[in-house]
Amino acid sequence: MKDVNINFLEQIIRANNSRNKKPYLEEACQLLEILRIYTRLCHDLKLMSLKRYEIVSQKIDEVGRMLGGWMREYV
């Protein structure tokens, strides 16, 4: 999960610094989906409490909405 988070942040930084944001935003979107799956898997395997899962899921959803808005603006 840490690697996915770091890769996600790298794609956001690349998109922010690039004229052609589309490939970086698309990759960030895929990484965010992977992070959602890993988060669910952690909860299912009892590696994460329900409360923590709810908090993390809300944060991921919030980032997803922001990313979606950015994609609509630049892609």
- 24: which residues sit within 8 A by CB, 6+ positions away? 11, 12, 14, 15, 18
pTM of the model: 0.91
Calculate mean pLDDT across residues 55-69: 97
Cα 52-40-2 angle, rounded to 5 deg:
75
pLDDT value at residue 48: 96
Environment class of 8 (CB within 10 Å of its CB; exposed 0-12, middle 13-18, buried 19+): buried
pLDDT value at residue 35: 98
Calculate mean pLDDT across residues 10-17: 97
pLDDT value at residue 69: 95
Band (74; pLDDT cuts 50, 70, 90): confident
pLDDT value at residue 75: 66
pLDDT value at residue 68: 95
